[in-house]
Structures are given as C-alpha cells and as structure tokens.
Structure 1
Amino acid sequence: MNAPSTLSAPHNPGMDEDTFEQFAEQLTRYVRERLIPAEAEVIANDRIPDEIVNEMRDMGLFGLSVPEEYGGAGLNMTQYARVVNIMAYAAPAYRSIFSINVGMFASALKNGATEAQKAEWYPQIAEGKIACFGLTEPGSGSDSAAMATTAVPDPDGNGWILNGTKRYITNAPHADVALIMARTSKEALPKNAHVSAFLVPMDTPGVSTGSPDKKMGQSGSHISDIMLDDVRVPGDALLGGETGKGFRFAMQSLDNGRISVGAAATGYARRALDSAMRYANERKAFGEPIANFQLIQQMLADSEIEIYAAEAMMKDVTARADAGENILVKAAAFKVFASEMCGRVVDRVVQVYGGAGYLAEYDAERFFRDARIYRIYEGTTQILQLQIAKHLLREWKDS
C-alpha cells in the first residue's frame, strides 16, 4: 500500500508528539487499572458510573478533536484513532459515550459550520456536553431519498420547524445536542441537496426520546429514537447557514465515524485475543495447556495476523487523512476489514474457550455479542462494499 506523498507536510500536525505519547501512556494505564475493573458494574447496571464519565471529561476525552483555540485537545486523525483504539480495549460503552462528540459531530462542525456555530458548540462539547447524530430513520438509513423528517420555514420568524423520527441514535437518551438531518425540499434533488443539517439542543420543546432499546451487546451504551414534534429552531441552527448541504456534511463526517469504528473493532479484537491467550495457557487438557495444541495455535496466529493487518490499515488511512487526502474509499475499506476481522477473531476466541466460551460468566461470550454491531453501524459492510465499488468504477471510467 503506497504511503501518502504529502506526509512530509502534514495537513493537520495535531498535538505535539511527545505530549501525545505521554497522554497515550497515561490513558492506557487508566483503561487497564480503572475502566476494565469497572466493567462488571457497567454491565450489571447498563450504564457508566457518573464518576467515570466525569473523569473522562476531566481527561479531555470529549474534546479530543476540537481545536485548541476552542478548548479542545486538537488531535489529528492519527492521534484520535490511537486514542479510540486504546479506549476500545475496555468495554465498548466507554468509547461510545464520547465518540460521537469527537468523531461525527466535531467533524461536521469543522466541515460545514459557520464561525458563530463553531464558537457556540466547540467549547460546549469540549467541556463534556454529549452529542448525538440524527441520520437514520424507521424507513431510511443510507437511502436519503426516503428520508421523511422535514424542516420547513417557520411562518412566524426566520427559523425552521422540524417534524419526524430518528431511529437507533447512539447517546440520544442522555445527549445535550443533536445534529439532525432533515429534508428541506419535498423532491429528491441531485447530490442529496434536498437534505440539510440542523443543530438542535435536546431540551428544545417538541424534542423527546424513546426508552433505550434493549440490545444484543454493548451494555452501558444507549440508543433510542428521537421524536421531533413541531420543533422550532432559529435560523442559525441550520448548519453552515445554507440549505442543501446537510447530507454532504454528514457523509464527510462519516469518514471520521468509520475510522472510529474500525479503530474500536481493532482494539476490541486485541482485547479478545489477549483473553484467549491467557485462557489457552491456563486451561489444561490431556495434562498440558491447550496453548500447546497446534490447532489452538492456528486460531491464535490467524487472529494476530488479521489484527496486525487492521492496525497497518489504521496507520495508513489516518496518515492519509492528516495529509489532506480524500479518504472516503479507504476509510470505508478500513471499517469493513476491521469490523469483519473483529467478528472472525471473537468467533475464534469463543472456540478457544470451548464450552466455557458459551457461558456468560466468561468474557468470550460478551466479546462475541459486543463485536457484532461493528459490522452494521456507520454503514453496513454491504453498503460500504457498494460505495467502494461505485467509486472504483467511476475512477476507472475517468482514467
């Protein structure tokens, strides 16, 4: 895989490298010594303890990608993915609580917000306000032409009135602000210009959320519907101050979200493999550790090979992003490979555990359930395969 030609002149230098490495080392200790021991409580109560959320705020995790001038850490993409990868070694809920802030929401502000919008929202999310991203609906996900949520001009002022329902929205039950995609044109327009984006505080009259959905895995991470019933927002809630660009802002920010999911899947696969290594050396059969058996070794080796490949992809795609390259295809490719890889690794880990891997008292069963969603959100594997192929064919025809 070719390295970006512009790496010598990074588009986004990020945090000073020595400072970042110290932070990464501190964060690794925090994950191992604080977050992992608290996993049982998170799972039992299906929520992260408030004191841990506050600790994460104090560490600056909610503002990792917010520019320094607005109170954030100003990390570049390489550093951001490293942080997600480190955090994802622990239960997925820990990453989920801040990932929308530093991934899709902050990216949408960077790509499309006015200076006034940046000045208003960057400091708030840097200090720990929780964001959510309202794209998916009961009848539409990747199909923007089917989007039913509407935004019409408010006849009583210069604002907008929003109506509709958003589904499967991460952090919605406790979010402070949502980036809501809504159609500002009844007709589907080229390049999805019928969709605009709105910054909507969750305490705005008419905004409500459903009960958190019960899920297969990822305890402590909450999703729910967002209902919008004649929600009135001012004119400056329109992201970028211009209609017809919301979907483009959303898609650009999804590159960050896909890198985040890929980095998380890679970190969680590493956690699962480490667990399998420990179990294989402790569990004995026929008088010796099962780690001595060659077919067990094959599963461990195959997992290491695939994790290493995903780690290499992560380094490459984030370096390209920091160099200013268009990473739409490569971010999608990384997300697909890493999420599918994680699924294969956790499946092998259950197999290494044997019968114990099917029991809830062992970690392997949880790893298996938690990992399944990585292949679905921020673009299913199948949607991203179509997207990758579409761009490949377009580039081939243009060449």
Structure 2
Amino acid sequence: MTSASTATSAVTAEDFREILAQTKAFVRDAVVPREREIAEQNKMPDEIVRQAKAMGLFGYAIPQEWGGLGLDLAQDVELAMELGYTTLALRSLFGTNNGIAGQVLVGFGTEDQKSRWLEHIASGAVVASFALTESGAGSDPAALRTTAARSGEDWIINGEKRFITNAPVADLFVVFARTRPADEDGAGISVFLVPADTPGVEVGPKDRKMGQEGAWTAEVYFRDVRVGADALVGGNEDIGYRAAMTSLARGRVHIAALAVGTAQRALDESVTYAATATQGGTPIGRFQLVQAHLADMQTGVMAGRALVRDAARAWVAGEDRRVAPSVAKLFCTEMAGRVADSAVQVHGGTGYMRDVAVERIYRDVRLLRLYEGTSEIQRLIIGGGLIRNAERAAR
C-alpha cells in the first residue's frame, strides 16, 4: 500500500521549480485580474477550472502512480504559498482532492479503491469532498453522530454534515460515520466512499458566508444511504478516526502555508499603497507609524514562512506529525489575521471599500482560524502533546 505517511516525492528539484513557476504565473496572470469577477459572481470561471485541470493542480499531491504530480508536503507548502496569493476560492477548487479527502484514499484505501478513484480525482474528473463536520461535532470528530449500520453485506448511512467544502459540485463524498460506540478498541468511527448520486444523498443550498466567495460549501444529508462493503475505506471499521486525524494534521501544514501566501499578498498591497498614496503631499509610507505596521507585517510573514517549511520538513522526515502541524497552523493563521487587519489600517478608509484587495483578504482569512481545527483546538493539541512527551521521557 502506498501511504501518505511513507510516500516520497518523485519530483526532482528542477521539475518542481518549473511547476512552481507555472503556478505562480497562473495565479498572478490568470486569477488575480479576475478576483472581483469571482467575488461578484460567487463562481470560479470555467476557463480557470479547465486550466487548473490541465496543469495537474487537481492532483498535485496524489502519487504519480495514480496520475498525480506526486508532490511531497515540503513541495506542497511551496505551492500553497503561491495559491494563497489570490482568492482562496482557487485553492478550494482542488484542495480537498489533494488534501483531506484525497489523502484518506492515498493513505488508507485498498488497492481496489485507489484504482477506482484516484486517477479520476487527480485529473479533476471527480471532485472529492471530505464529509466529517457536523453540528455538535466540528473540532471534535469523536463526537460525530452520523451512523453506519450493517445490512447484510451492505452499510446503511444516516446523518447530516455541515460546512462541507465543494459539496454542491462533489462527485464523491468521503463520509465519516459511527459504526459502534467508542470503546477500549477505538473511537468506533469508520469512513466510507459515497458517490454523490447514491440514492438518499441530498445536498442543501450553498452556504452564504462572510468571505471566500467562489468557494462553495453546503450541508449534506444522508438518509438511509445504502453502500456496498467495498465502500468501507481500507476494508476496516476502525480506520476512520486515524484517517481523519492523519489527514487533518497534514492539512494543517497546508493551511498554514496558504495563510502565509495570503499574508504576503496583503503585505505587498500595503507596501504598494503606502509608497504611492499621499497625505499632505507626502507618501504615507514615509510616516514612521505606517512603517511600523509594515515592519510587523513583514516579520510575521517571514516567521510564518520559515515555520511552515520547518513543519513540512519534519512531516516528510517522520519526525513530528502532530505538534508541529498544529504549531504551524496556529501561528500562521493567527498571523494572517493580524496582517490583514494591519493592511486595512494602512489603507485607511480605502481599505474598508469593496473591490479593494485587502478588504477581501480581511474577510477571507478569518475562516483560516476555524477550519481543520480551530486555534483553540491547536492549543490543546500542542499543550497536550508537550505534556505527554515529557511524561514519556520521565518513565
């Protein structure tokens, strides 16, 4: 089995430089000029979707043997920092294919499941959606109430999921459900592959969100949804909780990198504005208090970039796949919020106007501190991990 935790990158440094350069050009030349259109229409233009598929972006983190580019996490974060430079709706197009949904299959699927789905996910022919979050079971997956019960050789799934990214356009739901009460053997959570056209699957209307226009989320309902035994990921009822935690931890490093890219954009917009906008005939960038804002922003961006790269390196090396991802996600998403706030302040009243990039960024980045584990959950993971490490060392 090829595992997300053991697979090594087959992409050479030279090839990756070309991938990164093409992605940077795509983001800045094709997407940035259309950010206002994307926000107003709440939709990613079809030609941008087609171009992303042609570039392999729907499968950049899927192993090459399954049709992807095969980037490891250290390369993934470099790409994410470029993707974060524009509307986060771009990354949402293919984020779940490469990340929390696709990695469940890469790391835990059977060979038959991988053969059936991964090439289609990597090409963008299939949009995979990660159906974990529920009302009352967001940052704590162990509390989920969606159930899966045996019916002969099949499974019957019942429950509701919320805030599910790409649900309105999903072809495949990676669904987490409780198959038994938690006990000494585990959390009792399994994960199933449920095609979106399966009878009993219903997707609600698109959510109306504070920001990230063009990135669609919705509630998903499972009412007596019958799936075969081959839908159980890994063919094992006890894989679900570990699959969720592993996928989310890896995704946290990616989200941290995305936050760095967005913060860099807010900083760049602010520096340009400060160098050209005037107050009393003097560029505002010459005022020391404006320079102080810019200095703090630059410091946060550089610190975040270094932290993301270190966390990704530790993940690839197998040194730290729990505490470091949470540290990176906590710091970088909180940093992006502070940088976005400072960016609006540097722009003054202009920064509060729609159609100004930093106004959109201010709204977009607020979500980064919530999904894939809130900042509060990251603090619990970090603090608890440090204590457990110390206790083990003391034995």
1:331 aligned partner: 325
SS in 2 for 1:125: helix
SS in 1 for 2:33: coil
Conserved? CA contact 1:11–1:324, under 8 Å: no
Match of 1:159 among 154, 162, 170: 154
Match of 1:153, as an amino acid?
Answer: R
2:293 aligned partner: 299
1:6 aligned partner: none
1:5 aligned partner: none
Measure, in 2, the Cα distance between the counterparts of 1:352 and 1:206.
51
Conserved? CA contact 1:11–1:323, under 8 Å: no
Conserved? CA contact 1:261–1:335, under 8 Å: yes
Report the CA distance between 1:13 and its aligned residue: 3.5
2:352 aligned partner: 358
Report the CA distance between 1:217 and its aligned residue: 0.4
1:347 aligned partner: 341
The superposition leaves residues 297-356 of structure 1 with CA deviations (integer Å, 9 ceiling, x where unpaired) of 011011111100110011111111222233211001100000000000000001001111
Matched, 1:136 2:152: no
Match of 1:393, as an amino acid?
Answer: I
2:236 aligned partner: 242
Report the CA distance between 1:145 and its aligned residue: 4.0
Cα-Cα RMSD: 1.3
Measure, in 1, the Cα distance between the counterparts of 2:357 and 2:185.
45
1:201 aligned partner: 195
Measure, in 2, the Cα distance between the counterparts of 1:271 and 1:201.
37
SS in 2 for 1:38: helix
Report the CA distance between 1:119 and its aligned residue: 1.1
Match of 1:315 among 309, 319, 344: 309
Match of 1:263, as an amino acid?
Answer: A
Measure, in 2, the Cα distance between the counterparts of 1:364 and 1:81.
23
Match of 1:64 among 57, 60, 65: 60
Measure, in 1, the Cα distance between the counterparts of 2:284 and 2:197.
55
Measure, in 1, the Cα distance between the counterparts of 2:10 and 2:307.
20
Match of 2:137, as an amino acid?
Answer: S
Measure, in 1, the Cα distance between the counterparts of 2:116 and 2:319.
29
Deviates more, 1:135-144 or 1:163-172: 135-144
Measure, in 2, the Cα distance between the counterparts of 1:12 and 1:144.
29
1:4 aligned partner: none
Measure, in 2, the Cα distance between the counterparts of 1:144 and 1:91.
28
Which structure 1 residue ranges, 4+ long, deviate > 4 Å from structure 2? none
The superposition leaves residues 164-193 of structure 1 with CA deviations (integer Å, 9 ceiling, x where unpaired) of 0001111111111111000000x2224743
The 3 A distance-change label for structure 1 pair 191 and 372 is farther
Conserved? CA contact 1:63–1:101, under 8 Å: yes
Match of 2:113 among 112, 117, 124: 117
Measure, in 1, the Cα distance between the counterparts of 2:177 and 2:362.
35
The 3 A distance-change label for structure 1 pair 143 and 25 is closer
Match of 2:386 among 386, 392, 398: 392
Measure, in 2, the Cα distance between the counterparts of 1:257 and 1:149.
23
Match of 1:104 among 96, 100, 106: 100
1:7 aligned partner: none
1:35 aligned partner: 31
Report the CA distance between 1:105 and its aligned residue: 1.8
1:17-32 aligned within 5 A: 17-32=13-28
SS in 1 for 2:209: coil
Measure, in 1, the Cα distance between the counterparts of 2:83 and 2:208.
23
Conserved? CA contact 2:142–2:187, under 8 Å: no
Measure, in 2, the Cα distance between the counterparts of 1:380 and 1:247.
18
Measure, in 2, the Cα distance between the counterparts of 1:184 and 1:69.
32
Matched, 1:219 2:213: yes
> Gaps spanning 5+ residues in structure 1: where?
1-9
1:178-189 aligned within 5 A: 178-185=173-180, 187-189=181-183
1:264 aligned partner: 258
1:266-281 aligned within 5 A: 266-281=260-275
SS in 2 for 1:221: coil
Conserved? CA contact 1:259–1:314, under 8 Å: yes
Match of 1:381, as an amino acid?
Answer: S
Measure, in 1, the Cα distance between the counterparts of 2:141 and 2:318.
27
Match of 2:51, as an amino acid?
Answer: E
Measure, in 2, the Cα distance between the counterparts of 1:255 and 1:14.
22
Report the CA distance between 1:143 and its aligned residue: 2.8
TM-score (norm 2): 0.95
Match of 1:150 among 147, 150, 167: 147
Aligned-residue identity in percent: 42
Conserved? CA contact 1:12–1:323, under 8 Å: no
